[in-house]
Structure 1
Amino acid sequence: MRLWVCIALLSTVLCASAERPRIVQGMIRAGQFVRDAAGGTRDMYRAYKDMREANYRGADKYFHARGNYDAARRGPGGAWAARVISDARENWQSRVSGRGAEDTRADQEANRWGRSGGDPNRYRPRGLPSKYYTRDDLHLLWLCRSAVAWPGTMRLWVCIALLSTVLCASAERPRIVQGMIRAGQFVRDAAGGTRDMYRAYKDMREANYRGADKYFHARGNYDAARRGPGGAWAARVISDARENWQSRVSGRGAEDTRADQEANRWGRSGGDPNRYRPRGLPSKY
C-alpha cells in the first residue's frame, strides 16, 4: 500500500508540464482532501482530549463547536472529517449515554455552527481556563512570539494587539475583537504571501531559464493567494510594484509588462502556474 501511495504522489509532483492533464489535477485535489481530512481528525481529537482534561460543566458544546470549526477551516476534507466524526459520536451517544434526543440536537447544532465558520466562543462557558484555545488563537499566539524578533515600538504594539485578541476569549466576543482576529489573520497571510513571492523570485534568479519568468510570476502569486486575502493582497502589491519599476527602468516595454501582469493575475485567481512553465525547466522548481 505504501509503495503505491508513494508512486501516485511522486507521479503527481513530477508530471509538471505546460498543461497538467485532468487526471493529475484530480489526484492533487484528492491528496489535498486526504491531507485536510487527516488534519481535521487531529483537530477533533484535540478538542475531545481538551474536553476530557478540562472536565468543565457546560463546556461540551464549546469543544464540539471548536473541533468542527478548526477542522472545517482546513478545507473540504477537514469539514467532511468533522461531520463524519460528529455524526458517529452523536449516533453512538444517543443510543448508549441515555442523554436523550434534546441533548443530541443541541450537540449537533454546536457542531454545525462550528463547521459553518461560527465563532466557537458562542458556547464557551464563563470561567473556562484560557488555555483551551481554537487553532486560530494558537496561530495568533505564534505570531506574537514571532513578533518578539521585530524592532522596538513596533514589537510592543504587535504583542499588545495579538495578546489582547487571544486573552479576550469569552462567551461572546465583541465585534472589535473579531475584527482584531481577522486583522491578525490578514497580517499572517500577508507575511506568508511575501515569503512565497520572495521564494519564487529567488528560484527564478537561480534557474536563470529562458522563458520561465512568467511561470515564476504565476507561481508566486498562486502560492501567496492560496493563503487567503492577506496573501493575495501582498502578491498584488508586490507584483504591481515590480512591474511599475520594471516598466520604467528595464526598458522591456508595455507589452512585456502586460504579459507579466496577465501571469500574475492568472496565479492569484487560482489558475495552474504550469500553464506558463517552459519545457525543460528542472523539476525541482
Structure 2
Amino acid sequence: MVEDVACVPWGEVGQVATERTHEPCVDQGCTAFYSCNGCKKDQTESVSSDGVIYRNGEYASSIKKKHKDHSHTHLSDERVLTLVASHANWNPFLLCFLSCLCRKTRAISDRHLWREFCLSRAPKMVSDLLNGTKNKQIDGGWRALGKLFLYCAGCSGSNSSSHFSTQAVAGHFISETRFSRTSGRFFLIPRCRSDVLYVSDPCEHSNNPEDVGLFRGVFRSFDKSETKKLLTFRRVPRAEDEKCPFCRAGVWSMSRAQMIPKSASTRLAAYDEKVDYSICLNGHLNGKCALLHLSESDDYGEDV
C-alpha cells in the first residue's frame, strides 16, 4: 500500500563527501580515477610505415607497444560510480559533479544514479509513479525528478501567463519537501480526479503586494491522464514564453485553460483565490499562490 505522503530529505546536503571518497572504494589498487578517454575530442592519427603512430603530427606510440592499461579503474565504470555515490549517501552535489565530467558519466548518472537518488529519498512515492510505466522509466527522466525533489524554481515577475501580480523570486535549494497524493486531488477539476498527482507543500516567500507560496508536483503516467486528454481535446495552446524549470519542456498554463478548481486555493489558503500553475509535457507541475502578508503585530500579537 503506497503511503499518501512522502518526505524527501537531502541527506548530507552541502557535503560532497570529498573526505570519505578518499577511502578505497574497490580495493587498494583502484583508488586512482580518470575520466573516460572516449569522451576526449577527436584527434588526428596517422601510422608510418615502420609502425609508429603520430597524433596531431607528434609521436604518440608504437603499434607493438600499444596495449590496454588495466592498472586503474576508470570513473566511467558504472559499478565504481554506484559505490562512490552510495558511500556519499547519494549526495546531489556529487551527482551533479559526476554528470559534468564527460558524456559517459553523464549518461550513467541520468540512467542509473539519479534513479537511485530518487528511490533513496522517496521510495514509496517513486514506486507509485512507476506503476504502469514502460521499462520502469519516469516521464522527463530521473534527473528532472531529482531536481523537482530538491529545487524550488522561484518565479519571474508578472507576465501574460499569470492572472495576479508578483515580484520575482529567485530559485533555491531546500532541505526537505513533503509531497502528498491527497493534496494533488485538490488541484484537479472534478472530471480529472481519477489522475494521480503528487503536490508539495508551498514554500513561502516574503513578497509584495502579498507574500507568495511556491509549490510543485508530478503526475503519474501523464500521457494517459485525463488532464492531458482534456488539454488536447480543448486544443489549449502551450505557453510560448515559458518552459518547465525541471525538464525544459513546453508547458500549458492552467489559468489560460480555465482548469484551476477553487479547491486549490482552499488547500493552499491562498489570498483572494490567487493561484496559478502550469503543467509541462512530462507531467511536472510548477505553481504559485498569493498568501496573506502578516505584519509583526499579526505574528506576535498586539501589546496590551
- Common fold by TM > 0.5: no
CA radius of gyration, larger in: 2
Structure 1 or 2: more strand by fraction:
2
TM-score by length of 2: 0.29
Length-normalised TM-score, structure 1: 0.30
